[in-house]
Amino acid sequence: MNTKIKSAEHLEDFEVNKLLKYLSHNKLWKYYILVRLGISTALRYSDLSKLTWKDVLGRNLITIKETKTGRVREIPLNEELVQILTKIHAKLDYPNNEEIIIPISIRGVNKQIKILAVRSGLRGKRISTHTFRKTFGREVWKRNNYSEASLVKLSELFKHSSTSITRIYLSITKEEVNDLYNIQDLFSY
């Protein structure tokens, strides 16, 4: 009997945008914010679910004490994300700044995000709130040319004991590592 736990998978950029397009089109703003903030900050849901509007509106930095680790983190917010959050705050009819942005239980949000992912056309993916944290990690690794240096930094960010743990966490396969050696088009002579 296979008792291996099926963990959440990361999303590729086209899958992220497919999901965001669906959420935006259907005005599912809380879930839209969940995806955008989840990927942009790499925060666990236990920390995302504590954020209030005053924590993000008009700010270019979130300061949060992580629930799991107890450490204080400062996370930069890019200008585009700040503008999107401001627009969504208005679309939601300006909720009180003390209100929690995503006031949904972890079980409820995980159940709903699976349903919304399928409705958006994403099938066969193991999706949960942890998907967004993993998507962040995979995107950082990709944007840094799949470098070992990026894995070292991600390992520190995720508080993993080694880069080998980070590789497992990000589901970096042996095939992906072997593909790094495919540089035959480099040579012209």
pLDDT tens, residue by residue, 103-149: 999 999 999 999 999 999 999 999 999 999 999 999 999 999 988 89
Q: How confident is the model at residue 185 (pLDDT cuts 50, 70, 90)?
A: low
**pLDDT for position 173:** 76
pLDDT at 181 over 90: no
Q: What is the 3-state composition of the chain as percent helix, strand, coil, each rounded to the nearest 5? A: 55, 5, 40
Q: Is 45 exposed, middle or buried (0-12, 13-18, 19+ CB in 10 A)?
A: buried
Domain 13-173 annotated CATH 1.25.50.20: no
- The mean-pLDDT minimum among 6-15, 127-136, 155-164, 169-178 falls in 169-178
CB 103 within 8 A of CB 29: no
The helix (run of H) or strand (run of E) holding residue 63 is strand 61-65
Grade residue 186 by pLDDT with cuts at 50, 70 and 90: low
Over the stretch 27-83, which tens digit does the pLDDT of each residue have? Answer: 999 999 999 999 999 999 999 999 999 999 999 999 999 999 899 999 999 999 999
Is residue 3 pLDDT above 50, yes or no?
A: no
Instruction: Quote the CA–CA distance of 128 and 114 in Å, as a whole number.
Output: 7
d(CA 40, CA 139): 10
At 172, is the pLDDT very low, low, confident or very high (cuts 50, 70, 90)? Answer: confident
- 0.95 surpassed by pTM: no
- In the chain the first and final C-alpha atoms are separated, in Å, by 53
pLDDT computed for residue 7 by the predictor = 85
For residue 1, is pLDDT > 60?
A: no
Per-residue pLDDT of 5-34, as tens digits, reads 568 999 999 999 999 999 999 999 999 999
Residue in the block written with tokens 């919304």: 116
Of 127, 126, 173, 125, nearest to 146 by C-alpha is 173
Task: Say how far apart CA 118 and CA 106 lie, in whole Å.
Answer: 19
